[in-house]
Structure 1
């Protein structure tokens, strides 16, 4: 009898410096069928679903959300650590790169392993937000590397058609597939405001809450919310909440104090166990995106907002992916950052028209049903195909 051929083991390692529920869902899907599954990460933030116990975790530096220097340093250090782990420990694994740190996927040029890329933020395009022009040496070098890497990738995943076109700008024949993100709270019923403990605790009963939750950085246009609060300061029932952290948090707090705005306050991030309840607090959720480069990302929090059934007021380019999402599902409106009058009228319109508010809320919940963790299965099946 001839020797029995043994099927080669399937091994894959995922790279994401800041691992959350989206990555966990994908990793767990692969863990069901692959022989060995590993994860290179700086941190793992668990919400409802735990990481499969069979996953081998290798830790690198934590993604630093501080100022530009600290953030860039954590990215550079993380990329270097990923390189040595791929060289020594995971040389025979397929690799699935996420763009955190954003330079990690460029390491694919140094290895022969099959690899996939999930583009959350498209670089070097994102450097434009930081004032880097296309004439800069780093920008040109990165663009050249993109052409090489996208050409070799088994599959490049993006979150929107706009991002897909951005990838193809570097290599027109790249194998790109659009698979949207999804909510961590798919299928949950929104928390009724009358029974929302955060509303009671923060003294928000009877208030028409407009809420921003996210990073408060240079590119996030959070100053718009302060201007809106000032323009609506005579409407005692409208309250603005800014929940988050970032390098401009102190600036926003100072602006609120200088303008003596009693209808606007900054609060720290909610605990994970309070996140969904917090998303259900407002009547309108604000999402901001830098309008200088509209197609480099789609904020993942959008999908969690959908599941909470809250209308979205997007402050972004009218040509952006989020604008397209909002319009497609009729879940709110998108405004340019200088259209304070339009935003003000939108807020007052929804406050004064409960039936219209409820209709948009229903649209939001219906739209959330299209963005579930079934998309993690689609990613897995696409990699196999």
Structure 2
């Protein structure tokens, strides 16, 4: 198939979304499909730039900057982004390209106009990969009320849904958000698990044995450190475990809360906690080889269901998880059913401490724990399955709306 994949993140960025889309594009190419990734590119001067990336094409289209700017400017820039991309696509060598399917990745919620234009010109189906139920999660977190800003973002999101023929959500629990969308008989909703490719084997720039955590059992958190993660309780846990010289906590990544968390750890003199900036994703397996338990954190105010990309990386590397997540999240039952770690849904440091100590004992005594982790990854989260599922959904010939 000739497929257009639309997103707003991709290498050289190091976000979890960029890694996912890198792995997805590689697998489309491996399975013999002709893929072109369409990306907004605020830093280039020319209207378009066509590149080759591991068997796929990447078309970078000049568009307004949407990252690391004030919220009001970001909203205006994201609203303008798909129109700028479409205008510059029409100046590129792919202006007349006919697609067999259009796939797009949310976030962002603003790709709808571009997707709709490509679907109509190619008379093909569209598959929305939705990893982020926005603006609902922002309301859950108290970052937004249900006033005018919410109604604006909700209208944008609903338009995006309206141009999709198939929507792939992360977990069964997210189906409820699409009950009204499904009322049209030509629409399909399915669970599309998060995915990862086989890891590269790059030597990690972080040497745990050269830090204050040398010789300890290490709990590692690698990924975004922002409001949505609710990570303060992890520092509370570290403080509770300071009396155990055999245990340490390693935090690797960046985000809106990273500087504050680091300053808090220093203020509280947590000598069992070490922070590092984000590393190349290819170094992650080598990092985890030096650790014992992976940490998953989601703010308890979330009401949607989420299986973070870092959970997949832990499973892939055979690391059991200690999770502090919102009550009722499908991830909690998955961890318990598969026996790949311990999970706290109460957001209480006392309970989290008890589960952490229980998991440390389990790491010592349960010889099958690591194997269950890797088996779960291969069965549910391998990228080969993801591409096959998307292609199957797009292959049914339905006249685009």
Cα shift at 1:374:
1.6
TM-score, length basis structure 2: 0.78
Contact 2:342 2:359 in 1 (8 A): no
Report if aligned partners of 1:39, 1:56 keep a CA contact under 8 Å in 2. Answer: yes
Distance apart, 1:164 and its partner CA: 2.7
Question: Cα distance, 1:154 vs. partner?
Answer: 2.2
Paired with 1:68 and 1:280, the residues of 2 have a C-alpha distance of: 39
Q: Secondary structure at the match of 2:234?
A: helix
Q: From the superposition, tell whether residues 280 and 325 of structure 1 become closer, same or farther in structure 2 (CA, over 3 Å).
A: farther
Query: What residue number does 1:288 align with?
Result: 297
**Map of 1:7 onto structure 2:** none
- CA deviation digits over 1:26-64, x for unaligned, max 9? 434555655x64211258xxxxxx934452422445762
Give the number of aligned pairs. 363
Q: Distance in 2 between matches of 1:348 and 1:287?
A: 16
Q: C-alpha displacement at 1:118, in angstroms?
A: 0.7
Q: Give the Cα–Cα distance (whole angstroms) in 2 for the partners of residues 284 and 70 of structure 1.
A: 40
Q: Does the aligned pair in 2 maintain the 1:230–1:261 contact within 8 Å?
A: yes
Distance, in Å, in 2 between the alignment partners of 1:294 and 1:238 is 32
Identify the range of structure 1 (69-78 vs 208-217) with the bigger mean alpha-carbon deviation. Answer: 69-78
Whether the 8 Å CA contact 1:66–1:247 is kept in 2: the answer is: no
| Distance of 1:21 and 1:245 partners within structure 2 | 15
CA contact (8 A) 2:326 2:345 kept: yes
Going from structure 1 to structure 2, the CA distance change for 1:255 and 1:373 (only over 3 Å counts) comes to: same
Aligned with 1:218 (options 227, 250, 256): 227
Q: Once the 2 structures are TM-superposed, how far is the Cα of residue 353 of structure 1 from its aligned partner?
A: 4.3
Shift of 1:163: 2.2
Give unpaired runs (5+ residues) of structure 2: 11-17, 42-51, 397-401
5 Å-filtered alignment, 1:118-137, equals 118-128=129-139, 129=141, 131-133=143-145, 135-137=146-148
Residue equivalent to 2:238: 229
Distance 2:267 2:394 in 1: 54
TM-fit CA distance, 1:338: 3.0
1:84 to 76, 82, 87: 87
Quote the residue 1:15 is aligned against.
Answer: 6
How far apart, CA to CA, are the structure 2 residues paired with 1:218 and 1:21?
21
Cα pair distance change 1:224/1:75, threshold 3 Å: farther
Q: Provide the secondary structure at the position in 1 that maps to 2:356.
A: helix
For 1:275 and 1:230, how far apart are their aligned partners in 2? Answer: 26
Q: TM-score, normalised by structure 1?
A: 0.81
User: Distance in 2 between the 1:348 and 1:313 partners?
Assistant: 10
Alignment partners' CA distance in 2, 1:346 and 1:57: 47
Match of 1:117 in 2: 128
Per-residue displacement from partner, 1:265-303 (whole Å, max 9, x unpaired)? Answer: 221112333211112332221111233233254312211
Which residue pairs with 2:103 in the alignment?
96
Match of 2:382 among 344, 364, 372: 372
Question: CA separation in 2, counterparts of 1:18 and 1:278?
Answer: 24
Partner-residue secondary structure (3-state), 1:22: helix
Aligned residue for 2:368, secondary structure, equals helix
- Looking at structure 2, the residues matched to 60 and 181 of structure 1 have their Cα atoms a distance apart, in angstroms, of 29
> CA shift at 1:147, angstroms?
4.7
Deviation at 1:196, TM superposition (A): 11
Which stretches in structure 1 are left out of the alignment for 5+ residues?
1-9, 44-49
Question: How much does 1:167 deviate?
Answer: 2.5
Root-mean-square deviation (Å): 3.2
